[in-house]
Amino acid sequence: MGRVAIVTGGTRGIGEAVSIALRDMGLTVAANYAGNDARAADFTARTGIRAVRWDVSDHEACLAGVADVEAALGPVDVLVNNAGITRDGTFMKMTYQMWKEVMDTNLGGCFNMAKAVFP
């Protein structure tokens, strides 16, 4: 079995480009996404890359998602922590919930995914 990669936020923008580049280098790629099922289905149809849905800010979802990828594709060799969100606004207009969502996804997601694939 070949090398396996997970790219978080892997079905759009920079993540899509990274997913395709890794595929073109011969890796089997699982492109993680958080919510747009139609966009993910289109991505898979265009690229042949498996799209897998879970929220990287959710530690348990990351553990389960990585386990599902490993069961289907084999052990994960490469992790690209690309997922990120914005809640643009001035500091005065940003709510605590907006701040928490950004931190939980952009920072917490990196921790969650690293912990899930490290073993």
pLDDT tens column, 74-109: 999 999 999 999 988 788 888 999 999 999 999 999
Look at residue 119 and tell me whether its pLDDT is greater than 90: no
Q: Burial level of 111, CB count in 10 A (0-12/13-18/19+)? A: middle
Look at residue 1 and tell me whether its pLDDT is greater than 80: no
Look at residue 43 and tell me whether its pLDDT is greater than 90: yes
Domain boundaries, the chain: 4-117
Mean pLDDT computed over 108-115:
98
Q: Which H helix or E strand runs over 91?
A: none
Mean pLDDT of the chain: 96
Fold of 4-117: Rossmann fold (3.40.50)
Q: Please report, rounded to a whole number, the percentage of residues in the chain having pLDDT higher than 90.
A: 92
